[in-house]
Amino acid sequence: MQQLEVINILKKNLNFNDDSIEKLKKFTNRVLEENQNYNLIAKSTETQIWHRHILDSAQLVKFIDFNLNSMADLGTGAGFPGLVLEIFNKNKAFHVKLYEKSPVKRRFLRGVIKELRLNAEVLGDVRDEVIDSDIIICRAFKKLDQIIQVSREIARKPYKLMILKGQNAHKEIKKSFKIKKYSYKLENSITNKDSKIILMEINK
């Protein structure tokens, strides 16, 4: 699926406006430029960046209440999904926090935020932080049981947990719930028939 097809889905199915699409174009160009020097995304996914990274991240807008105060993206990498969701966000009071341990990626993220005038903050390794966000999201971060453990250790209050997962989602849920069970919903990914979105409510 190429750029024009993805943009059509972003507009028609996910309600991205023209301004957001222009920002996504600038963002993807920056990622591809910087990827020539640093490994922001896998080289093998460069030609599929709109499908594999932009659309995969953007589909979370269907599940996020942007009237809440803030969202934390754990291990955001090049800004997926956090920056894509901030580009969509129209509520200036909604604050996006991007946690990334790589100094190179943090520098890249700050440059994009400044250039596109986004309301996002870049922070360091999530294990060194305390999170007070209403929503915690992640993509390609850690195994589910590790995500739950880390988020519970650093979160100050109850939160919604949204995780983009591949075909092992069911297996990871089964393993994670051996000790403690959580209420959850599984949603189908629009970018891969075998991938899932795990939606959880975590009470402290």
Mean pLDDT of 49-69: 96
CA trace torsion 99, 105, 109, 115 (10° rounding): 170
The confidence score (pLDDT) of residue 140 equals: 77
Record the tokens describing residue 68, joined without a space: 């809440």
* SS3 of residue 90 by DSSP: coil
pLDDT given for residue 204 in this prediction: 64
* SS3 call for 17: coil
Note whether 35 and 99 are within 8 A (CB).
no
- Show the tokens assigned to 34: 């910087």
CA torsion sign, 7 to 51 to 26 to 4? Answer: negative
The mean pLDDT of 38-45, rounded to a whole number, is: 95
CA 167 vs CA 164, 184, 196, 197, 200: distances in Å: 10, 17, 7, 10, 18
Mean pLDDT value of segment 123-151: 89
**Does 62 have pLDDT greater than 90?**
yes
Contacts of 89 (CB under 8 A, 6+ apart): 66, 96, 119
Domains, the chain, ordered by start: 3-202 (3.40.50.150)
Top pLDDT among 203 and 47 is at: 47
Of 21, 6, 30, 7, residue with least CA distance to 113: 30
The yes-or-no verdict on residue 30 having pLDDT over 80 is: yes
User: Taking residues 185-203, what's their average pLDDT?
Assistant: 93
- This prediction has a pTM of 0.94
For the segment 52-58, the average pLDDT, to the nearest whole number, is 97
**Between 110 and 141, where is the model more confident?**
110
Average pLDDT for 75-101: 96
The residue-averaged pLDDT of 78-103 equals: 96
pLDDT tens readout for residues 146-180? 898 889 888 988 999 999 998 888 888 888 877 77
- In Å, how far are 8, 38, 143 from 15, measured between CA atoms? 10, 32, 31
Give percent of the chain with pLDDT exceeding 70: 99
Distance CA 71, CA 90 (A): 14
Q: What number is the average pLDDT over the span 109-138?
A: 94
Mean pLDDT across the chain: 93
Is 139 in contact with 163 (CB distance < 8 Å)?
A: yes
The closest of 130, 133, 151 to 141, measured between CA atoms, is 151
Residue 49: pLDDT band with limits 50, 70, 90 = very high
Instruction: Assess whether pLDDT exceeds 80 at residue 103.
Output: yes
pLDDT of residue 193: 92
Tell the residue number behind the tokens 């919604």, with chain if given.
160
